[in-house]
Amino acid sequence: MEAISRPLASRADFPGLVTPAGAPWHYLDSAATAQKPQVVIDALSDAAGKDYATVHRGVYARSADMTRGFEDARRTVAALIGGKDSELIFTRGATEAINLLAYSYPDKGRVLLSELEHHSNIVPWQLAGWQVDVCPITDDGQIDLDAAEAMLTPEHTMVAFAHVSNVLGSMLDARRAAELAHAVGAKLLLDGCQAVPRMPVDVAAIGCDFYAFSAHKLYGPTGIGALWGKAEQLDAMPPWQGGGAMIDAVSFAKTTYAPAPQRFEAGTPAIVEAVGFAAACDYVSAIGLDAIHAHEANLVAQAREALGAMNDVTLFGPEESAGIVSFLIDGIHPHDLGTILDEENVAIRAGHHCAQPLMARLGVTATARASFGIYSDEDDVAALIRGIERTKRIFG
Ligand code: PMP
């Protein structure tokens, strides 16, 4: 595979990529949250500053402009995944998006999850009272869709799978998952948190019913994400939080509700963050998600090759993964590794990655995880490997 030595985006665009002392920071934790480019920071700053006003209710020009900016942002975010703006609900993040669906979906029955789900695609279903079934994964870390096919019954009203695993980087065959769900009359939610920043996503081509993701993993701000849903599904769902902005008419005798998506957006929304979310979508779209995917796949291949050459390293997940590598080194706890790497200005994630059932399936309590972004390059991989070699000498 041809090595890509340069990052896809200029590191200088990302003020977060230097240490306080001004040294390059080898940030390998983009799957947790991505650093923001200056254009996103500027968009946030303008929206919070010179352009700021409330949305939807103001009678003055600034508010009308901000409302246009907010609704344009909805269109931009929806378009990134091939959806319509009328089908995109702004939420606090993917976690809130999945909670919204788990609570509001009118036909609560059995939901089929998988062993590799993030806690935010497990706990909401439990809390909302669904019967949870668990599809196994294959030994190389893919959701086992043959097993899913065998497990699905007409009692299942929902299938909720990660589009890309936040621990293993494994990519779901999402079209097949949609077909399998629909064959028994269930709907498919994809948790797209790790997919949207790493590959082109087209909800119409996939044929899924719902799609959840967060802005902060896509080089945008925290505090905002989205639930996309097919119009007929959203229309059938009752509101889940009450308040301003989600109503049609309110009286003590009877309250009626606005159509989707406003019906699901009670209260003053994250106005500034929505504008930043859209700026982040524009940023990745300009680079191109195909190019981003190829870039990260290349870095994953480099990292897996270097790690695989060490005979005391266990690699998890499939060869072909989207920007994420999980591994363990014999005799070195991932937390110790992470601490020593930090001294080398290399930031990795160590722990259960909010996927304790997956850790149990892998027979471990934690892994070390390196995850890449558009600003990552082979210097980051080299720094990781140098740091691991130093750690081994320390523990040697
Ligand atoms: N699902 C996956 C696959 C994730 O990686 C994450 C974040 N780690 C989430 C859901 C939750 O996202 P958020 O915390 O932004 O709501």
Instruction: Give per-residue burial for 281-305: e unless 16+ CB within 10 Å, then b.
Output: bebbeeeebeebbebbbbbbbbbbe
When computed from its CA atoms, the radius of gyration of the chain, rounded to whole angstroms, is: 22
Is 94 a pocket residue for ligand 1 (Cβ < 6 Å)?
yes
Helix (H, G, I), strand (E, B) or coil at 221: coil
Using the mean position of ligand 1's atoms as its centre, give its distance from the Cα of residue 335 in Å: 21
Ligand 1 and 194: CB distance under 6 A: yes
Dmax over Cα atoms in the chain, in whole Å?
Answer: 74
Q: Where are the domains of the chain?
A: 11-32+288-395, 40-286
How far does the centroid of ligand 1 lie from the alpha carbon of residue 369, in Å? Answer: 15
Q: For domain 40-286, which CATH number applies: 3.40.50.300, 2.70.98.10, 3.40.640.10, 3.30.1360.120?
A: 3.40.640.10
Determine the pLDDT at residue 2.
47
CA atoms within 13 A on the CB side of 381: 26
Looking at residue 57, what is its pLDDT?
78
In sign, the C-alpha dihedral spanning 141, 296, 372, 196 is: negative
Measured CA to CA, the distance from residue 163 to residue 315 in angstroms comes to 21
Question: What integer is the mean pLDDT of 238-257?
Answer: 94
Per-residue pLDDT tens over the stretch 145-170: 999 999 999 999 999 999 999 999 99
CATH architecture of residue range(s) 11-32+288-395: Alpha-Beta Complex (3.90)
Dihedral sign for Cα 333, 338, 340, 341, please: positive
191 lines ligand 1 (CB under 6 A): yes
- Segment 77-134, tens digit of pLDDT: 999 999 999 999 999 999 999 999 999 999 999 999 999 999 999 999 999 999 999 9
Give the residue whose CA is nearest to atom 12 of ligand 1: 94
Q: What is the structure's pLDDT at 192?
A: 98
State the DSSP code for 18.
Answer: B
Q: Would you name the residues annotated as active-site residues?
A: 354
pTM above 0.85, yes or no: yes
| β-strand partners of 212 | 191, 227
Strand partners, 24: 18
Question: How remote is the CA of residue 51 from the centroid of ligand 1, in Å?
Answer: 30
CA–CA–CA angle 370, 14, 337 (5° rounding): 25
pLDDT of residue 260: 95
Our CA angle for 88, 233, 114, nearest 5°, is 85
Bridge partners, 88 (sequence order): 228
Q: Identify the bridge partners of residue 29 per DSSP, sorted by sequence position.
A: 371
pLDDT at 5: 54
Per-residue model confidence (pLDDT) at position 7: 78
pLDDT at 9 over 90: no
3-class secondary structure, 335: helix
In 3-state terms the chain splits into helix, strand, coil percentages (rounded to 5) of 40, 20, 40
- Model confidence pLDDT, tens digit, residues 319-338: 999 999 999 999 999 999 99
Name which residue leads in pLDDT, 369 or 20: 369
What is the 8-class DSSP label of residue 238? Answer: P
Q: Is the CB of 170 under 6 A from ligand 1?
A: no
Q: Which ranges constitute the DSSP H helices of the chain?
A: 38-48, 61-80, 94-104, 123-127, 145-151, 174-183, 203-206, 231-235, 271-287, 289-308, 334-343, 356-362, 378-395
Q: Which residues fall within 8 angstroms of residue 342, CB to CB, at 6 or more apart? A: none
